[in-house]
Amino acid sequence: MRRLNLLWIVGIVAILGSVMPAQAQLRFGLKAGVAVNSLHFNTSTFDSDNRAGFTGGAMLEFTAPVIGLGMDVSVMYVRRNTAWLEENGIARDNRDYIDVPLNLKWKINVPLINKIVRPFVTTGPSFSFLTSKKVINEVYKNRSFDTAWNFGFGVELFTKVQVGANYGLGLTKALKATGLTGTSNIDGRNRYWTITAAYLF
């Protein structure tokens, strides 16, 4: 299953890379930030709070000249902390992922100030591979693979520093019930904000 998911990622990168102009600019960067996560349950019985985690990793950016359209591919370590209210108290789940977001990025041309500040918007899928334990307790467990769709915006400063914010909308179940104690129909999907700063070389 993981091999199939990796093949999907490699295929998407290859397709996007093949349609980029030959003169597109390629840059490498380091990125770090804060990840604020909650679980969206399919039942109103639970109430999940926003909890802060952290993220860090590396990115590659391809940008076509003049039009400013390109792609942003990152490999990030992400800690997602979550807590939700149950009948018996508060349940907590701290999950570690290797996250691979593949975003289309449009850098908006602003005449005269492009070299100082340049806004951008992004969108695309994100593929997350669980690296921490799957079992939370006897009732719940985490899934080993999760997907989301990201929507982001930010600014590039002096063509070197990028500060951005992304909202991730979970597309698959990140947490599911084991079926014990009558909880077989309960599952949770990730919802998260990620605020990052990146330095590009």
pLDDT of amino acid 13: 54
* SS3 category, 165: strand
In this prediction, residues 38-59 reach a mean pLDDT of 77
pLDDT of amino acid 128: 96
pLDDT tens digits for 70-79?
Answer: 999 999 999 9
pLDDT tens digits for 125-143?
Answer: 999 999 988 877 777 788 8
Whole-number Cα distances in Å, 86 to 32, 48, 49, 92, 182:
33, 10, 12, 10, 14
| The two structure tokens encoding residue 69 | 């359209």
Residue 8 above 70 pLDDT?
Answer: no
* SS3 category, 17: helix
* SS3 category, 196: strand
Residue 53 above 80 pLDDT?
Answer: yes
Bigger pLDDT: 20 or 111? Answer: 111
- Facing residues of 76 across strands? 57, 99
Whether the Cβ atoms of residue 149 and residue 125 lie closer than 8 Å to each other = yes
| The two structure tokens encoding residue 31 | 């990125």
Residue 17 above 70 pLDDT?
Answer: no
Strand extents, DSSP E, 19-160:
25-41, 47-49, 51-63, 69-86, 89-107, 117-130, 140-142, 145-157
pTM above 0.75, yes or no: yes
Q: Which long-range contacts (CB under 8 A, 24 or more apart) does 134-138 make?
A: 136/91, 136/93, 136/175, 137/91, 138/178, 138/180
| The two structure tokens encoding residue 152 | 């982001």
pLDDT of amino acid 39: 76
C-alpha to C-alpha distance for 201 and 199, rounded to whole angstroms: 7
- What are the percentages of helix, strand and coil residues in the chain, rounded to 5? 10, 65, 25
In this prediction, residues 177-183 reach a mean pLDDT of 64
